[in-house]
Structures are given as structure tokens and as C-alpha cells.
Homo-oligomer: A and B are copies of this chain.
Amino acid sequence: MNFQVVKGMRDFLPEQAKKKQFIEDLCRRTFERYGFEPLQSPIVEDFALLAAKGSGGEAIKEEIYYFRDKGERELGLRYDLTVPLARIAASNPMLQKPFKRYCIGTVYRYDRPQAKRYREFTQADFDIIGSRSVLADFEILQVACDVMRALGLEFKIKVNSRAIMEELAKKCGVAPGQVRDCFRSIDKLDKIGPKEVGKELEAKGIDAKILEEISVNSFEKVKEALGEIECVKELEELLMLAKENGMKEVVFDLSLCRGLEYYTGSVFEAALNEGPSVGGGGRYDKLVETYGGQPSPATGMSFGIDRLLDSLEKILIVGPTTQVFVAPLSREFSLEASRLATKLRKFGIGVEFDVMERSVGKNLEYAKRRGIAFFIAIGENETKGRRVKVKETGSGTEKEFGIDDCAGIAGLVKSG
């Protein structure tokens, strides 16, 4: 028998899993430093929720893992972390505002698997529910910048406004009923270029004049065209706040549309300078209402952890979780060796112990291969003489300590 991982999904073996966890931990620490708190929701949701207007719609059935349980309930695996958040916000109106939550978890799509495209992947979402202030959008951008900088990435965070796009479309003669269709085409600018988008718009009978405005891509021009209306003032303040706080990675990009239709104001996209988009988001002031909640302005972003991992995997080095290997010279010294390991762990040191009953040579080899920095062998001399040698596995240099001087050993290990 030979069992494989399910199509489009993948295992993370330790080397890779450690890197993934490093990225997730970094996200988490950053979110928490801004006062975001964790929220967890089930991976299985009612299909009615996933297919509700405002989220996926009935057509989502084709794109997700849909099934019926034994009680004939229609269920599905969540395809993002925003819809469950909106459900929770809608059904818990007593949640204190601002409700700042983060969630790092897997989501599921029944896409055609492609290179670097999986059917199970991990998102790290951070959202603020309850504030309609541009300060909330600004905080989302700050968090995103902090995460990307801490990962050592070269990136841009593109910023635009759905509201501005709509005003602009109106001004360029796009009929109200055609605005969505228009944006769907504009959303392809990155992929197929302005010429093809222009053709698409014409085929849809939409005035392609808006493409000229977009191609200029100047906030000043937008201001001229639309005047000092609310959505222009808001985006201007957002860009000013970013600039004044030294976030030079934040740039205005009039071509940024973002596919999802629930966005109502600012939209964001984080993209590597030499690489793909790794995150996106924006303001979605109507979504919580759609799920039966009280009107609740909301804004947030989502990082694709797998995308970040893909771009960092080759350069990230995450060492072993242990600093010391303790090896008995033979089986009869296991107890003495184990006691030393136990005591060292109490000093907050990671200690691996020989559970294979291997020779000391094999254990030293193993410790070196794993990058464990220090090695202690325990045999008759050590047990009787009550002294041990702590060997640096790299240089081979040794220092002697009393077998009970765990503070001394810990000092060496921590400074090493």
C-alpha cells in the first residue's frame, strides 16, 4: 500500500515547517504589538454562509470543497477568513469596538492545482471592525509594512480607492450598471495590458476613456478631475499619514482594483518588487450588515503565508530548537545523562538526549549534522569524577564544569 497526499495539497516537512512557522510567528508578534487579538473559527462552515450574497454566491459551489454531512446539512470548507469574521461580528454585536482581530489559518479552494498554487493554503488576516476612520486603514498599512520589513523583503504596498474608481468611471461615461463589468476588465491590466483591456471594454460596450486616466496614474490628476470630494480627501490623508510616518513603500496605484466585490473604500495590495503579490485587502463597510449584523465599518488585509514562504524559503535559515546534546557513553550511564539533560532544561536550554542507544561517535555526528552547538558525553569518568566536558561541536574546543554546575554550563551555552 502506498498512500499519497491529496491532490493540490502538501505536507510541510520539518525544515520547511520551521520556516513557515517562523513567518507565522513574525506575523503574530507584529499583529499583537498593535493590539490585535487572536480569533479562531471552524474550518467547516454552513454552505449557506459561504454562498451568501456579498460573499461567494451560489456559484462558489464549483470552487470550494462542498459536501453534505450525515445529517444532510450542506457544508463547505472555508475559502477565506473574512467571511467567518463577518459571521462572528454579525452574531456578536456586544463585541467591544474597535474589534481588532487576527487569524492565521488554512483555507480551501477547489482550483486547478498549478505550480505554487495549492488547494489548501494558509492566510494571515488582520482586521479592524467598528471604525470608519482613515486612521484604521492607516494602521492596517502600518502592520503590513512592519511584517514585510521584518521579513527583509523589498516591496511596495499599492493603495487605491474603490470609491474614487467609481467616481472616475462615472466621470468617464461608464454607465452605473456597467461599473462592475468595467472593473473586472481593469483588474486584468497587470496580466493582459492596457491594449487587451481596451478591447475587452469595447466589446462590452464600455467607454474605454477611463484607461487613459488610469495610465497617467497620478493622484494630483485624480484630484483635479474629481475635486475635493470625501473619498479623495480620505485617500489623500491616508497617503499623507503613510508618508509622514516614513512608509515610503506605500504608493498610490490607480490601476489597483482587486477582484472581490465587497470592498467599499480603500483597497490595498502588497507586492514584492521582484515577484508576485503576497497580500491584499481594503475597506469593506457593508459586509457585516450583509450577514445580518449591525452596520459595522471594517477594514483589513490578508497575507498569503505560502507566497511569503515561497519567496523566503531559499534564504531563511532556521536553526535547531536545541543547543545541547547529551550522550551517555554507554547504556548504563543513561540515568546520569538524563538527569543532567533534565536539569539543563530547567535553565531554559533546549537539550536533545540520545533515545537511539547509539555510540558516542554516532551521536556527535548526529549533533553536528543537526547544527546543535554543544555536546556533553557522560561515562564512568564523568559519573565518578563529577565533572563534565562541554564540547563546541563546531570548533571542537572543550570546557570543563562540575556535573552539578548547570548554571555554569547554561552560561556558556547561552553566550555561545
Contacts and interface: CB of A to CB of B under 8 A. Distances in A.
B5 A98 contact: no
B39 A120 contact: no
A356 interface: yes
A97 interface: yes
A7 to B, nearest CB: 7
A142 B131 CA distance: 48
Interface in A352-374: 352-357, 366, 369-370
Interface string A17-40: 110110000000000111111111
Contacts of A369: 96
A259 to B, nearest CB: 22
A142 B292 contact: no
A265 interface: no
A330 interface: no
Interface in A122-165: 128, 130-131, 133, 135-136, 138-139, 142, 146
A264 interface: no
A138 to B, nearest CB: 7
Interface in A99-129: 101, 106, 108, 110, 120, 128
Given A34-B350, A65-B69, A14 B321 contact: no
B350 A3 contact: no
B39 A106 contact: no
A71 interface: yes
A241 interface: yes
Given A43-B43, A335-B241, A34 B352 contact: yes
A226 interface: no
A98 B355 contact: yes
Nearest to A352: B35
B135 A321 contact: no
Contact of A73 (B7, B34, B244, B322): B7
Given A7-B71, A335-B241, A120 B355 contact: no
B135 A357 contact: yes
A11 B83 CA distance: 13
A33 B342 CA distance: 10
A407 interface: no
A230 interface: no
A184 interface: no
A91 interface: yes
9 contacts: A3-B46, A3-B52, A11-B40, A33-B345, A33-B349, A36-B321, A97-B356, A133-B355, A135-B356
A356 B132 CA distance: 7
Given A44-B108, A135-B334, A245-B339, A37 B17 contact: yes
A286 B302 CA distance: 43
A166 interface: no
A67 B6 CA distance: 13
A322 B2 contact: no
A351 B33 contact: yes
Contacts of A2: 90-91, 292
Most buried by B among A14, A75, A138, A322: A14
